[in-house]
């Protein structure tokens, strides 16, 4: 019996004197190593740092770490001194084999598919930061692979299974504000440069601590530039660039179409996860976008995307509007007259009333909301869900199959943004039926010897 089968059957059920029962040690924070799921982190210098710490707190045992930038990853290496270190994820997977049960992927968007597919080939449980992939073709292949392998998967979108998500679902599904025909979602992103018209012309030597070629992965090869030239206005295109003057790495990959998925890709999965589940949304019939000037190499500074959803399972057709770059719904219902909207949020317009995030703002509906009982199980934090799934429990709420819907949501929006034309997508045929430019972007070439291959 291998390690994974042993864990799935339940270590607690195995009577062996060398295994110390959890109750003797005093709780989940003292889980004996023999019961822990061993985890490898790939892409650990950015969001990977706090998320791997959360995984450790949840109960995973961090045994291996991998990053292309030694300096950027140093804080994570220091926090997990016991973990074995790698620069190339392929070496990690080849070396760790049965020593690792699960893999966390926190790399930039353009390498998600490569790493998740490689981990799935090794039959590992996999958690990937959102969005699951950078292209629609990648998403399809990753989901198909996960179904074949059958291991536990998760994507780090804000969960619909937590307190806020469950309460919004209970209120909407109880009809507190009536039928929902309009949803508005907005974000203050980008917090990194977007709207670039050209790649930088200045180049820099690649530090010995950084593997630029491996960072680029399947993207078209470009010379390395650490920071924008001092006279460049690009870092000032947004009010506050969290990545400062970096061109690509760290953090500022998001604005480039070759590496990231823009503001919609960064935050759309978070905001749409709850309404998608609550209102049984799947694929829109039409997606249209307007934005500041867009160029092929970068996402625009601000955009508005409109999604048309058909009637489904007794629910009426509805429109969903996405805003980013500081834009917000231009016209507010009377219940919100004079109220300043938060930097990011969700507004539900019903036939009887209005809800802002999880707050029913229509007085007559608020009274009804108070009487709606809790009927959904609050499952807690996303890594707790994933851990239980890894141990053979209920699948995580944002496993790869579910995450494919919200990933395709943001990717279809980006197709409309990038082409400036409406998009009608046929998910069965995996094609855009009305926009050849958008259809051509569903499948994008891999470079530098990398290949996109399913399982």
Count of C-beta atoms within a 10 Å radius of residue 166: 22
Domains contained in the chain, number: 2
Q: Which of 155, 182, 201 is the last residue of a domain?
A: 155
219-259 tens-digit pLDDT: 999 999 999 999 999 988 887 788 999 999 999 999 999 99
Instruction: Show the tokens assigned to 203.
Output: 């180049």
- Model confidence at 380, in pLDDT bands (50, 70, 90)? confident
Instruction: For residue 127, give its domain range.
Output: 3-155
Q: What is the pLDDT of residues 392-445, one digit of tens each?
A: 999 999 999 999 999 999 999 999 999 999 999 999 999 999 999 999 999 999
Given a cut of 60, whether residue 18 has pLDDT beyond it is: no
> Could you write out the DSSP letters of every residue in 182-195?
EEEEE-----S---
Measured CA to CA, the distance from residue 35 to residue 6 in angstroms comes to 9
Give the pLDDT confidence of 32-63 residue by residue, as tens digits.
555 799 999 999 999 999 999 999 999 999 99
Q: What is the mean pLDDT of residues 362-387?
A: 95
Q: What angle do CA 32, 35, 41 make, to 5 degrees?
A: 100
Radius of gyration of the chain (CA): 23
Q: 104, 121, 155: which is the final residue of a domain?
A: 155
Q: What is the reported pLDDT for 2?
A: 52
Query: DSSP letters of 310-371?
Result: --BTTBPPEEEEEE-TT---SS--GGGTTPPPPSSEEEEEESS-EEETTEE-SHHHHHHHHT
Chain centre to alpha carbon of residue 302: 20
CB 192 within 8 A of CB 237: no
- Copy the structure tokens of residue 433: 């039926």
* Whether the predicted pLDDT of 21 surpasses 70: no
Does position 128 have pLDDT exceeding 70, yes or no?
yes
Residues 122 and 207 in one domain: no
| Residue that terminates a domain, selected from 135, 155, 175 | 155
Q: pLDDT at position 239, please? A: 78
Residue 143 reports pLDDT greater than 60: yes
Question: Do 147 and 171 belong together in one domain?
Answer: no
How far are the Cα atoms of 47, 118, 133, 189, 401 from residue 138, in angstroms, in the given order?
Answer: 22, 13, 6, 24, 13
Mean of the per-residue pLDDT values of the chain: 92
Helix (H) or strand (E) holding 306: strand 303-309
Q: Look at residue 294 and give its three-state secondary structure.
A: coil
Residue 171: which pLDDT band, with cuts at 50, 70 and 90?
very high
Over pLDDT 90: what percentage of the chain? Answer: 90
* Within a domain: 385: no
- Residue 35: per-residue pLDDT: 78
Q: Which tokens sit at 189? A: 């992103």
Chain segment 182-233, per-residue pLDDT in tens: 999 999 999 999 999 999 999 999 999 999 999 999 999 999 999 999 999 9
Q: What is the pLDDT of residues 94-109, one digit of tens each?
A: 999 999 999 999 999 9
Asked if residue 131 has a cis previous peptide bond (ω within 30° of 0), the answer is yes
Residue 120: enclosing H or E segment and its boundaries?
helix 112-121
pLDDT band at 3 (very low <50, low <70, confident <90, very high): low
- Same domain? For 150 and 177 the reply is no
103 vs 123: CA distance, rounded Å: 10
Residue 34 pLDDT:
58
Classify the C-alpha dihedral 266-271-273-276 as positive or negative.
negative
Give pLDDT, residue 28: 37
- Residue 395 belongs to a domain: no
Would you state the pLDDT for residue 4? Answer: 54
List strands edge to edge, sheet with 61-66. 84-86, 61-66, 38-42, 102-105, 125-128, 153-155
Residue 389 resides in a domain: no
214 with 334, same domain: the answer is yes
DSSP 81-116: TTSEEESSHHHHHHHHGGG-SEEEE-S-GGGHHHHH
Within a domain: residue 91? yes
Asked whether residue 41 is assigned to any structural domain, the reply reads yes
The reply to whether 65 and 145 lie within a common domain is yes
Residue 94's CATH number? 3.40.50.720
Same domain, 151 and 197: no
Q: How far apart are CA 395 and CA 161, in angstroms?
A: 12
pLDDT band at 13 (very low <50, low <70, confident <90, very high): very low
Distance CA 336, CA 345 (A): 14
Is 177 domain-assigned?
yes
């Amino acid at each position: 019996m291998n390690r994974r089968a042993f864990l799935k059957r339940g270590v607690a059920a195995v009577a062996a004197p060398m295994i110390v029962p959890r109750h003797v040690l005093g709780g989940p924070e003292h889980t004996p190593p023999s019961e822990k799921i061993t985890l490898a982190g790939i892409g650990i210098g950015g969001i990977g740092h706090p998320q791997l710490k959360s995984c450790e707190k949840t109960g995973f045992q961090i045994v291996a770490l991998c990053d292309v930038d030694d300096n950027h990853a140093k804080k994570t290496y220091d926090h997990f001194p016991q973990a074995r270190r790698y620069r190339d994820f392929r070496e990690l997977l080849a070396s760790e084999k049965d020593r690792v049960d699960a893999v966390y992927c926190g790399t930039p968007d353009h390498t998600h598919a490569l790493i998740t597919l490689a981990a799935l080939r090794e039959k590992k449980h996999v958690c990937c930061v959102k969005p699951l992939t950078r292209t629609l073709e990648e998403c399809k292949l990753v989901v198909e692979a996960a179904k074949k392998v059958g291991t536990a998967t998760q994507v780090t979108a804000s969960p619909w299974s937590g307190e806020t998500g469950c309460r919004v679902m209970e209120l909407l599904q109880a009809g507190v504000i009536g039928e929902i025909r309009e949803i508005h979602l907005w974000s203050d992103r980008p917090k990194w440069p977007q709207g670039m018209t050209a790649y930088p012309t200045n180049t820099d030597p690649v530090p010995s601590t950084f593997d630029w070629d491996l960072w680029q992965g399947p993207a078209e090869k470009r010379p390395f530039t650490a920071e924008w030239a001092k006279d460049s206005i690009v870092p000032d295109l947004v009010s506050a660039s969290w990545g400062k003057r970096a061109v690509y790495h760290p953090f500022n990959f998001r604005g480039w179409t070759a590496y990231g998925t823009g503001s919609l890709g960064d935050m759309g999965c978070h905001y749409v996860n709850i309404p998608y589940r609550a209102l049984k949304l799947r694929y829109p019939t039409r997606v249209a976008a307007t934005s500041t000037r867009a160029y092929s190499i970068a996402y625009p500074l601000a955009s508005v995307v409109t999604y048309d959803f058909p009637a489904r399972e007794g629910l009426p057709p509805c429109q969903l509007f996405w805003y980013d770059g500081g834009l917000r719904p231009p016209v507010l219902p009377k219940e919100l007259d004079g109220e300043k909207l938060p930097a990011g949020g969700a507004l539900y317009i019903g036939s009887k009333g209005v809800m802002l995030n999880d707050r029913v703002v229509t007085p007559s509906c608020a009274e009804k909301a108070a009487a709606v009982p809790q009927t959904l199980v609050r499952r807690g934090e996303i890594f707790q869900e994933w851990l239980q799934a890894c141990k053979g429990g209920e699948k995580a709420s944002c496993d790869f199959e579910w995450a494919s819907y919200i990933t395709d949501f943001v990717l279809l929006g980006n197709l409309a943004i990038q082409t400036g034309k409406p998009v009608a997508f046929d998910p069965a045929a995996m094609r855009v039926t009305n926009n050849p430019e958008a259809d051509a972007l569903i499948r994008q070439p891999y470079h530098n010897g990398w290949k996109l291959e399913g399982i």
